[in-house]
Chain A
Amino acid sequence: DAGVTQSPTHLIKTRGQHVTLRCSPISGHKSVSWYQQVLGQGPQFIFQYYEKEERGRGNFPDRFSARQFPNYSSELNVNALLLGDSALYLCASSTGPTSSGNTIYFGEGSWLTVV
């Protein structure tokens, strides 16, 4: 069975540009969460989606947005990129929402470098 798949794996963007990151959850999983991991730190929560509805939002500016599609895949969009947005962006999937104590499984991540 395929795990969580993310694309692209690596990308370099210029300050002010926009980026779209994509995620496909494990087959049968209906919840997708996005986390940002800065080098040397633990993952920080950005968004959670379950059944195409936003179930939670972390402490990130409005430049960050996301959505979940009918096939449960998801996109994370970041506008007006800043140098500080450089990080590993992790998508995690689970069978249900975190509120039900569901385990989350991470994809390999998208390494974003902003120059």
Chain B
Amino acid sequence: GENVEQHPSTLSVQEGDSAVIKCTYSDSASNYFPWYKQELGKRPQLIIDIRSNVGEKKDQRIAVTLNKTAKHFSLHITETQPEDSAVYFCAAPNYGQNFVFGPGTRLSVLP
């Protein structure tokens, strides 16, 4: 089945700096990659997603890039703010049955 790796596991940045989280997947047939943000004690919330027919997608301060050849995709957050502090999960589809999630990245934005 699909295997998703995510790095780094923790990331601390100064407010205003950029943050980048990278995920790799194993199944070359995977075609849809969402990113979720989970604040402490809350549910995972979809923040951005990308399909395999595009290489990049942006939504204000958040962007996702996809490299199908290398089988990796990355989340980019620019001009980070304290409210960006959370755990971020990437995911990839597994044989169309479910999503396989990465282990998560704990992002801390320091004021």
Q: Give the total of A residues in contact with B, Cβ under 8 Å.
A: 24
> In the assembled complex, how far is the CB of residue A26 from the closest CB belonging to chain B, in whole angstroms?
12
> In the assembled complex, how far is the CB of residue B75 from the closest CB belonging to chain A, in whole angstroms?
14
> In the assembled complex, how far is the CB of residue A109 from the closest CB belonging to chain B, in whole angstroms?
6
Q: Which of B36, B99, B103, B104 has the most CB of A within 10 A?
A: B99
Taking a contact as CB atoms under 8 Å apart, the answer to whether A45 and B49 are in contact is no
Contact indicator per residue, chain A 42-56, by CB within 8 Å of chain B (1) or not (0): 111100100000011
Please indicate the chain B residues that have their CB under 8 angstroms from the CB of A101 in the complex. 31-32, 51, 93
Contact indicator per residue, chain B 97-111, by CB within 8 Å of chain A (1) or not (0): 111111110000000
For the residues of B in contact with A, the DSSP-based class is strand
Which of the residues B34, B49, B96, B104 comes within 8 Å of A42, measured between beta carbons? B104
Q: Which of B32, B36, B43, B100 has the most CB of A within 10 A?
A: B43
Please indicate the chain A residues that have their CB under 8 angstroms from the CB of B49 in the complex. 103
Is B20 among interface residues, defined by CB-CB distance under 8 A?
Answer: no
Please indicate the chain A residues that have their CB under 8 angstroms from the CB of B99 in the complex. 43, 45, 98, 104
Residue positions of B touching A, CB distance < 8 A: 31-32, 34, 36, 42-46, 49, 51, 89, 91, 93-104
Residue positions of A touching B, CB distance < 8 A: 33, 40-45, 48, 55-56, 58, 90, 97-101, 103-109
